[in-house]
Amino acid sequence: MSDLTDPEIQVWQDLESSARSLLARYAFHEIRTPVLEYAAVFERSLGDTTDVVQKEMYTFEDRGKRRITLRPEGTAGVMRHVASMGQEAQDARFYYIGPMFRSERPQAGRRRQFHQLGAEAIGAACAAADVEMLAMQWHLLTEWGLKDCRIEINTRGLPTDHDRVADGLRAALDPVKDRLCEDCLRRYASNPLRILDCKRPSCKALVVDLPPVSSLMSEEARAYLATVCAGLDRLSLPYVQNPNLVRGLDYYVHTVWEITHTGLGAQDALAGGGRYRMSMGNRTLEGVGFAMGLERVIAALESQGGERAARPAPVWLVAQNETAFMENMVLMQTLRMRGVACGMDMQQRSIKAQMRLANRRHCRWVIIRGEQEMEKGLFVLKDMESGVQEELDMPNLLERFLSLQLTHADSRTTSSGAKTSTR
Ligand code: AMP
């Protein structure tokens, strides 16, 4: 777990704000669910035999002796909410951005608190919805500037296929059963599909020769996968079919996918997604969704190199005496209320100390006011980049900053805009 602050927080804010605007274009609405839920919300929906439920949840008893879990993923909480909705639950479209918690052994790319951006579209199984979800996710990754991503897709089939797939895999693995790792021996009995997901090289070598799971499934499951692939082809989305792709959670039906990035090393999954069917209270809910790890998105962007756009430095106000100090307080408030990011030294230190602060904050502009300027009703504006100073009156000063839009919100326009106007 770690604190997030400048300068990385700027990258987070930029990613989040471009995501929010893109998701709105696809008619998704934000949902913020509690970070704590009853443990049962996850145990029932994710499945008792999954790694997340068995090994990774932070579950504890609260003062009222209730079993509480820090959310390890976002879908279950969203579905708990959807289950409480009326008719409009049928085609609800939600997205979330927030922290998730898993008690894993920390390593590169694996944290105990990490952040996910996820989206869920509720509705009956239809391949077009899965295609739309993948297209949106691909669009988002492209908008963020990620290159070298890879979509792998597979099918989980229908619940009625699960027993047949499990039996087929057990039969195929039977001759090599004694070479499976301890975890996979347990999975052989409880959920043999998960053996395909084992990261141990010895188990990986055993599963390469297995028949693709789709060949063990019903015609309906295979046809659904083919329709999804045709849709992805039509939209020219690059993907590969990976017959050994297994998503770790039990609620999936039909399409499952994972998106990886070549710059990430061993933990190369940026995102996972798929169609799911989940029982919540007395309702069965179906939907399609994905979850993307934001730490990994940022690591992937860093692996691609490239410069981060710097945040615009605020304007700094410098006062040579007490009267100018109070007048600068008034000016600072005016500028801030007009949307200009600015600041000043509150301790009324020497001019030298005030200029030092301006430098430390990488301010592009400094407004200096002393006795003479106060008498003339003027301001000295210093461009810290070129060193050029000029005298301006209030209307000109305001006009200058407002036309430059020196706000924190729009970094790119600001830094380039500021340059052009001084030349
Ligand atoms: P999952 O539902 O486990 O596939 O998680 C979806 C995405 O969240 C993964 O593809 C990762 O990008 C990210 N993620 C999952 N677990 C962690 C973790 N412990 N630390 C950092 N990112 C994670």
When pLDDT is averaged across residues 209-232 and rounded to a whole number, the result is 94
Q: How far is the CA of 110 from the centre of ligand 1 (A)?
A: 7
pLDDT band for position 411 (cuts 50, 70, 90): very low
- 58 pLDDT band, cuts 50/70/90, is very high
Please report which confidence band the pLDDT of residue 311 belongs to, taking 50, 70 and 90 as the band edges: low
Residue 25 Cα to ligand 1 midpoint, Å, equals 25
CA–centroid distance, residue 407 to ligand 1 (Å): 34
Mutate to test the pocket of ligand 1, among 45, 56, 100 (most ligand atoms within 8 A of CB): 100
271 Cα–ligand 1 center, Å: 7
pLDDT band at 419 (very low <50, low <70, confident <90, very high): very low
Contact 94, 31 (CB under 8 A): yes
Q: Ligand 1 site: residues with CB under 6 angstroms?
A: 73, 102, 104, 110-111, 114, 116, 248, 269-272, 291, 293, 295-296
pLDDT in tens, 338-369: 888 899 999 999 999 999 999 988 899 999 99
Average pLDDT over residues 224-250: 92
Q: In angstroms, what is the span from residue 181 Cα to ligand 1's centroid?
A: 24
134 compared with 337, residue with greater pLDDT = 134
Determine which residue's CA is closest to atom 23 belonging to ligand 1.
293
Q: Name which residue sits closest to atom 18 of ligand 1, judged by CA.
A: 110
User: Is residue 24 predicted with pLDDT exceeding 80?
Assistant: yes
- Expressed in angstroms and rounded, the spacing between residue 293 Cα and the centre of ligand 1 is 5
